[in-house]
Amino acid sequence: MAFDAAAVRCLTKELADRLINGRIDKIYQPEKDEITVNIRTIDENYKLVLSASSAHPRVHLTSVSKKNPQTAPLFCMLLRKHIGGGKITAIEQSGFERIIKISIESYDELGDLTTKYLIAEIMGRHSNIILTNNDMKIIDCIKHIDFTVSSVRELLPALQYTAPPPQDKTDLIDIKETAEIDFSVSGQTADKAVLSAVAGISPLTAREIIYRAFSRTDVRCGELTDSGKNKILYETVQLAKTVQDNSFTPCIIINSADGKLMDFSVTPIEQYEGIAKIQNFPNINELLDTFYRTRDMHERMRQKSSDLVKLLTNNIERVSKKLVILNKTLSNSKDKEKHKIYGDLLTANLYNITHGQTEIEVQNYYEGGNVKIQLSPTLTPSQNAQRYYKKYNKAKTAEIEAAKQIENAKNDLEYLESTLTAVETADSESDLNAIRAELISEGYLARKVSPKRQKQAAAKPMHFVSSDGFDIYVGKSNSQNDYLTTRFANSSDLWFHTKNIHGSHTVIKLGIDKDVPKSTITEAAEITAYYSKARESSQVPVDFTAIKNVKKPNGAKPGMVIYDNYNTIYVTPKEPKK
């Protein structure tokens, strides 16, 4: 991510403008590596999130409220003790580093006014949140770093806080026209050379410098002339002046193909022309809240759903292997009639067979000509005939049973794959809990017995309103799909599902108005495609029909239906506005 020193400079300025002289009202720790601080100012109340997550470290104002643990963690309790009710007197960037230092005045146990510092280090897996006293002695930190983790810099209570060791680079804001960038490694790309020489920029920013100089990013050092090197230095200096002047343009880069958030920047980005679209924001806090809310939700959901994904994947593999074996059994049983013919021919020729014979050639009354039949020398002629009849009966029984089991296995595979799609498209923990409950009822998960656990409210289908004012409902699990289709919807309501692709059931409630505009049908189809296995595709076929044409076969698994008299529309999946 492009949470570089330039972004921190932009963020620090915004936070200082809004939060200085604000009072810390409440402190929470919703995650083991994240704290939320509620701050009251004269004009407004703010919620500041500080995260030391290895995947998404950050600091910004947020509108998101997370569920907090019933018992506050120790670090949270310590922060409440030392800075609860305190006044924010300064918010600064330490040097030109990804470090934000918040100065807080508060009264200690003796009633003396003291200053403490809450320091957020935004450095990937080395990120941390540290509380120090006025003498920069560490009171505590959200991650303890001892000598077994780092021999260079320990972060433990009672130790003196020291900043991370400086890099052997020139800070972006100190870059001048006389600066030197080493382009001597001919095979190295020019952006890597810039990144190695200039501190405080991200790989995205380094590539942007090269793009502005040459209108492409794959320039190698070996092809640079003196003029080319000067172009790169010129663009680097221009970027430095933009940051020095605090002339920021916060923006998010969105992949045009699938709508995914790719990156963000506080300076204009041009290198993705034709590949991605740029969404500008009025301030960096709004940008960061939007960007990390989406990224963090997906990461947390991936972690919380990993056990379900593993369970479903293992069962899908097991059922797939079972289908291979059953199909082989069915294929082998196709020779069953040959065994019956051999038994009949041996019965008709018992007088020609002698005990101990290993084969006999007889006339084939069924197909014409002669046929050789293998015999067991240890069996009598009559027993050899009976052996072929037994093979016939065994193959006949295996064929019938294999056909039944293949049908059941296909239904199981269909159900497991649709459930896996529901897990992959789940948006909240309650969605996952609903899927877990369904898997327990279907026997795929063992029921956990927890004493006096409070019963959770059943999750409801997602609800959206089309641009024409029609209610659109989407199931988030197979059980919800069943409820939506067979119980919630009326016979005349419109039902949607991706064609031959696993996904959610979608229903447009018609009410009194039965005339559904084409725009609403398109929106419902786009939502259906978004909550399906084809979310990342384009031109996804979506079938739609009246609910009266949708039937659930007796004994079918949750979410399994059949339908007829339908129309098909092709759409590109689109995330609905909630």
The model's pLDDT over 525-575, given as tens digits with 9 standing for 90+, comes to 999 999 998 887 889 999 999 999 999 998 888 889 999 999 999 999 988
Mean pLDDT (whole number) for 250-266: 86
Classify residue 155 by its DSSP letter: B
* pLDDT of res. 242: 94
The strand pair at 562-563 and 540-546 is best described as unpaired
Residue identified by tokens 């000598």 is: 147
pLDDT digits (tens, 9 = 90+) for 188-197: 999 999 999 9
CA 211, chain centre distance (Å): 31
Confidence band (pLDDT; 50, 70, 90) for 437?
A: confident
Report helix, strand and coil shares of the chain as percent, to nearest 5.
40, 25, 40
Residue 312 CB neighbours (<10 A) = 24
Give me the residues paired with residue 138 across strands: 132
Q: Which long-range contacts (CB under 8 A, 24 or more apart) does 220-229 make?
A: 220/186, 220/187, 220/188, 220/189, 220/190, 221/183, 221/184, 221/185, 221/186, 221/187, 221/188, 221/189, 221/190, 221/193, 222/186, 222/187, 224/183, 224/190, 229/181, 229/183
pLDDT at position 64, please? 85
Task: Work out the percent of the chain whose per-residue pLDDT is above 90.
Answer: 57
Which residues lie across from 361 on neighbouring strands? 372
Distance separating alpha carbons of residues 22 and 42, to the nearest angstrom = 7
Mean pLDDT score, 360-384: 88
Reported as a single tens digit per residue, the pLDDT across 348-371 is 888 888 888 888 888 888 888 888
The length of the chain in residues reads 578
**Side chain identity, residue 28:** Y
The residue type of 352 is N
Region 170-302: CATH code = 1.10.8
Q: What is the mean pLDDT of residues 247-257?
A: 89
Q: Name the E strands within 52-110.
A: 58-61, 87-93, 99-107
Burial classification of residue 567, based on how many CB atoms lie within 10 Å of its CB (0-12 exposed, 13-18 middle, 19 or more buried): exposed
**CATH class of segment(s) 311-422:** mainly alpha
What value, to the nearest 5°, has the Cα angle with vertex 69 and ends 59 and 41? Answer: 45
pLDDT band at 268, cuts 50/70/90?
A: very high
Average pLDDT over residues 132-159: 93
Q: What is the pTM of this model?
A: 0.63
Q: In this structure, what DSSP letter does residue 472 have? A: E
Paired tokens of 534? 């084809």
Over residues 328-342, the mean pLDDT reads 83
* Contacts made by residues 277-280, CB under 8 angstroms, sequence distance 24+: 277/253, 278/251, 278/252, 278/253, 278/254, 279/251, 279/252, 279/254, 280/249, 280/250, 280/251
Range list for CATH 1.10.8 in the chain:
170-302
CATH code for residues 5-141: 2.30.310.10
Is residue 158 predicted with pLDDT exceeding 90? Answer: yes
pLDDT for res 59 = 95
pLDDT higher than 80, residue 429: no
**Predicted confidence (pLDDT) at residue 449 exceeds the cutoff of 70:** no
Calculate mean pLDDT across residues 303-311: 87
Task: Report how far Cα 434 is from the mean position of its chain's Cα atoms.
Answer: 18
Q: How confident is the model at residue 403 (pLDDT cuts 50, 70, 90)?
A: confident
Alpha helices in 353-380 (DSSP H): none
CATH 2.30.310.10 placement within the chain: 5-141
Place of tokens 């492409």: 216
For residue 452, pLDDT over 80 is answered with no
Neighbour-count burial of 564, counting CB atoms closer than 10 A to its CB (0-12 exposed, 13-18 middle, 19+ buried): exposed
- Tell me the average pLDDT of the chain: 89
Predicted pLDDT of residue 391: 87
Query: What pLDDT shows up at residue 10?
Result: 95
Give buried/exposed letters for 48-60 (b at 16+ CB in 10 A, else e).
bbbbbbebbbbbb
Mean pLDDT for the stretch of residues 59-72 = 90
